[in-house]
Copies of this chain bind each other. A is one copy, B any other.
Amino acid sequence: MQKPSIPKGTRDFTPDEMAKRNYIFDTIKSVFRLYGYQQIETPAMEMLSTLMGKYGDEGDKLLFKVLNSGDYLAGIDPAEVASLGSTRLTNHICEKGLRYDLTVPFARFVVQNRDKITFPFRRYQIQPVWRADRPQKGRYREFYQCDVDVVGSDSLINELELIQIVDEVYRRLGIRVCIKINNRKVLSGIAEVIGEAERLVDITVAIDKLDKIGLDKVNEELAAKGVSAQAVERLQPILHLGGTNADKLADLRRILAPSETGLKGVEELETIFSLCGSVGIATPLELDLTLARGLNYYTGAIFEVKALDVQIGSITGGGRYDNLTGVFGLPGVSGVGISFGADRIYDVLNQLDLYPASSVEHTRVLFVHFGEAERLYCLPWLKALRANGVNAEVYPDCAKMKKQMSYADSKHIPYVAIVGETEMAADKVMLKDMATGEQQLAGLEEVMEQVKG
């Protein structure tokens, strides 16, 4: 006999958890589809040659590697096996790994399937990813990512539509959010005009922490990274830019005047804000110059979404990248995309208690009965209800009424149809509304009417 367990950092999802997760994913998917995005899936395992080197040294270590099948030591000199050490032995005995994110598999997919897909290619993908991170609260070794990207189009209409998607998804979920926007070209321009173009990464990594560690610590970090005192001084007014988005853009236009790249970034931001204004976005949009998010990746717009009523990190983020597929031999494919953080959205909805009752309701009516004859009596009722699209069950065993009723309770079933001799004689059931406790004799039509809700 074994006491069963699952690998640390992984989770089982019970029916109620699944129902809530499905509510989130279904909401997101239906919005994606409104905008013409199509679903793809890629294999859980990718070749390690596809994955390695894409996530930095740390990422390489966090990849789950899959042992080659069969006699994986065949062809390796036994003496060598002992001397190789873990890291180098891995190269000999593993050629596959579990996907670490959806971006690299997507890039690989686009290149490998370029003859089968239509550009601009609008895809969404909702699949689990695996990372051998140290498990901690809210961080798992298996979790779902939910990515939406369009590749093969430079148009800023795509940025607009991603903002519209965010706006609509959170409207439907009932979560109040704000969308922060920045632009990599503006960040480049800033580094340029303060005279530290080469230290772009250090600068943005530092100012990305402004919210968390405050201005003094940011300035300390900049100095520590070798950014000159003069440059740090020049940066200060930029970090203090205030007012409306339009005010900030006007100031930036002036500050970044010497930088062609910077001005291009300002122009992109102006276009995006203008497009948003023309269609009307209910969610507040905020130009945030401290937003960087894995900067090396992005080349244009950078997005991040924060929940307003819950203290939690970003719940959606993304941006534009210009060379996603270059590493796989297809250069010049520009794209823009965002990723919804399903686990965090799940937590936000739980904390704010925003799940609609229907999202955790599975069965509308349970038939409970006093014995075998009654159970048989239920079958045509069930058939008729199901034929009308009503999720319905009969308690399958002959059991005490209390047990049957508690089954209904724990499955959140809103109606129970009780069948005993009296009901059978009358060609009815005793229909009980579990919320109010009210009950009444009802024929099939009445049951149908009442439970359809």
Residue count of chain A within 8 Å CB distance of chain B: 112
Q: Does A79 contact B (CB under 8 A)?
A: yes
Partner of A328, one of B2, B83, B379: B2
User: A11 near B43 (CB under 8 angstroms)?
Assistant: yes
Chain A residues engaging chain B, CB cutoff 8 angstroms: 1-7, 10-15, 18-19, 22, 33-36, 38-47, 49-50, 61-62, 64-67, 69-74, 78-79, 81-83, 85-86, 89-90, 93-96, 98, 108-109, 111-113, 116-118, 120, 122-123, 128, 130, 132, 142, 150, 153-155, 157-158, 160-161, 164, 168, 275, 278-280, 327-329, 362-363, 366, 375-376, 379-380, 383, 386, 389-398, 407, 410-411
User: A154 near B397 (CB under 8 angstroms)?
Assistant: yes
Which residues does chain B contribute within 8 Å of A128, judged by CB atoms? Answer: 44
Which residues does chain B contribute within 8 Å of A280, judged by CB atoms? Answer: 383
User: A44 near B130 (CB under 8 angstroms)?
Assistant: yes
User: B329 near A2 (CB under 8 angstroms)?
Assistant: yes
User: A327 near B391 (CB under 8 angstroms)?
Assistant: no
How many identical chains are in the complex? 2
Q: Interface of chain A, helix or strand or loop or mixed?
A: mixed
A18→B96 CA distance, assembly (Å): 24
Closest to A35 in B: B393
Partner of A2, one of B7, B327, B379: B327
User: A123 near B36 (CB under 8 angstroms)?
Assistant: no
User: B46 near A112 (CB under 8 angstroms)?
Assistant: no
User: B40 near A15 (CB under 8 angstroms)?
Assistant: yes
